[in-house]
């Protein structure tokens, strides 16, 4: 199964573009920072990942604010033009200070 859920902030958000097939698309750079328990020891975790959204999700994402925390769900694929992975976003939820979802964007 390839299902990812990540709480992260939007560090960069590209302008809305369209694929050759005319599908709306938008690129993100997401940043995550947390503390995880690994082998009985707390570990500081920092992650920057490329992400993309298509269709209705891309059109809605244009209005998102940089620096706000969101809970993203989607899947990972190998990047076509570089080494690494790209997180394909299928849904997102704005997260408030107490980690409760305030607003959901989910075109699926």
Assign residue 10 the CATH number of its domain: 2.40.50.140
Q: What is the pLDDT of residues 9-28, one digit of tens each?
A: 999 999 999 999 999 999 99
Q: What is the pLDDT of residues 44-84, one digit of tens each?
A: 999 999 999 999 999 999 999 899 999 999 999 998 877 78
pTM: 0.84
User: What is the per-residue burial (b if ≥16 Cβ within 10 Å, else e) of 36-68?
Assistant: eeeeeeeeeeeeebebbbbeebbbbbeebeeee
Which residue range(s) make up the domain with 76?
4-105
Specify the number of domains making up the chain: 1
């Amino acid at each position: 199964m390839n299902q990812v859920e990540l709480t992260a902030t939007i560090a960069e958000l590209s302008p809305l573009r369209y694929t050759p097939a005319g599908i709306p698309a938008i690129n993100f750079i997401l940043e995550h920072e947390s503390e995880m328990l690994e082998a009985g020891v707390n570990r500081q975790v920092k992650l920057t990942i490329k992400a993309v959204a298509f269709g209705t999700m891309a059109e809605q994402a244009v209005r998102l604010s940089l620096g706000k925390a969101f809970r993203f769900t989607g899947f990972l694929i190998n990047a076509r033009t570089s080494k690494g992975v790209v997180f394909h976003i299928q849904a997102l939820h704005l997260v408030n200070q107490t980690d409760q979802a305030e607003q959901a964007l989910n075109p699926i």
